[in-house]
Amino acid sequence: MTIPVSRPHLDDNDRKCVAETLAASEISGTAGTFIPEFESAFAEYCGVPHGVATTNGTAALHLALATLSIGPEDEILVSTLTNMATFFAVLYQGAKPVPVDVEPDTWNMNPALLESLVTPRTKAILVVHLFGHPVDMDPVLSVARKHNLFVIEDAAEAHGAEYKGKRTGSLGDIGCFSFYANKIITTGEGGMLVTRDKKYADRARNLKSLAYGNENRFMHSDIGFNYRMTNMQAALGCSQLKRIDFSIESKRGIANFYNNALRDIADLQLPVEKPYAKNVYWMFHLVLRGGFKGKRVEVMRELKEKGVETRESFIPYNMQEIFLKKGLTEQDLCPVANDIGQNGFYLPSGPVLSERELVYIATSLKEVLDSVR
């Protein structure tokens, strides 16, 4: 038996809602009522008026950049430590991503570095609320205002996380979410872009559905995409959204358990929750310090032998071979992220972990760390 890093939580209402769409033959991305219902309910949850559902989180990010007309002349400041989907979205638009190093404690974009990276070509800042902890947004927004830059949030890991009492997705111009199976709530595959600005929502809605014309449907108004979420997925999303509080509370409970169990281990860096933040602890991520540095392979292998699945931290943009080979970036641009990328990993993080499993995981980790020290 292995405890996986994540297992989706599905219930009877989820199954009932999806079955309803099948029974009604309302299965596509233009059929039924669940899509608009999910869009407005999720946008409202985030604290903004508009939501545009997409096929996945990567599509939501790409759609956000296309909506803002980001193009080949533009540079985008992006947090280097992230799922590479964040960077791919920038590259799909032909724009140049500029990696920004992270803070050593939150592992999020370090706002103090932004000013020195702004050039006349800079168009936007793309922040990532990593592992569920919101970015310190005020200094980001102040640089953005000063230089007239868009702010896009990659909130794929941070549904319901709060910055100074405001939910992620409502903090910049456009917020992007993923509903992949291991995210805070899921539609299997899926995503959404949320925004305060009706112009952006209208343009995104048009672009995501092949930019069909208004007067004559087949006189397209732009080069569109098919990024439509299906009604089946939206049905699951509506049902999942009803218990998002449960999902977040269970993530926070798991984090609380791990924090208490692991607090006294020297040389093990635990996640933080800054005074400005409500962390939703998408995944419980740790960094090996001091004597444990460089022992990640061993630690992860031994945990696996005990039936505990773990996963390495993300590899920063500036360390990705494909981008280094193309000469797009250099390894030593982001030393803090490099260190975390090399020594970080995450533990099973629910939302359906039993107390017994949690105790077993924490005990196993302690044993493994004792043995490699």
**Phi, psi for 324 (deg, rounded to 5):** -65, -45
- Helix (H), strand (E) at residue 164: none
Is 338 an interacting residue with respect to ligand PLP (CB under 6 A)?
Answer: no
CA distances to 85, 330, 336 from 315, rounded to whole Å, are: 12, 13, 12
Q: Where are the alpha helices (DSSP H) in 148-225?
A: 198-208
Task: Report yes or no: 312 and 343 within 8 Å, Cβ to Cβ.
Answer: no
Q: Indicate the Cα dihedral angle 349, 350, 356, 357, nearest 10°.
A: -60
- Least distance (Å) from ligand PLP to the CB of residue 168? 11
Is 5 an interacting residue with respect to ligand PLP (CB under 6 A)?
Answer: no
Q: Tokens standing for 348?
A: 């099973």
What sign results for the dihedral spanned by CA atoms 35, 36, 39, 44? negative
> Which listed residue (3, 52, 64, 128) binds ligand PLP by CB under 6 A?
128
- Least distance (Å) from ligand PLP to the CB of residue 60? 8
> Which listed residue (86, 106, 239, 250) binds ligand PLP by CB under 6 A?
86
Instruction: Name residues contacting ligand PLP, limited to 163-182 (CB under 6 A).
Output: 178, 180
- Least distance (Å) from ligand PLP to the CB of residue 158? 8
Instruction: Name residues contacting ligand PLP, limited to 296-315 (CB under 6 A).
Output: none
Is 240 an interacting residue with respect to ligand PLP (CB under 6 A)?
Answer: no
Amino acid (one-letter) located at 251 = K
> Which listed residue (29, 32, 51, 57) binds ligand PLP by CB under 6 A?
57
Is 85 an interacting residue with respect to ligand PLP (CB under 6 A)?
Answer: yes
Q: How far apart are the first and last CA of the chain?
A: 27
Instruction: Please say which residue, 53 or 361, places its beta carbon nearer to ligand PLP.
Output: 53
Is 107 an interacting residue with respect to ligand PLP (CB under 6 A)?
Answer: no
In the complex, the residues that contact ligand PLP under the rule CB under 6 A are 56-58, 82-83, 85-86, 128, 154, 156-157, 178, 180, 191
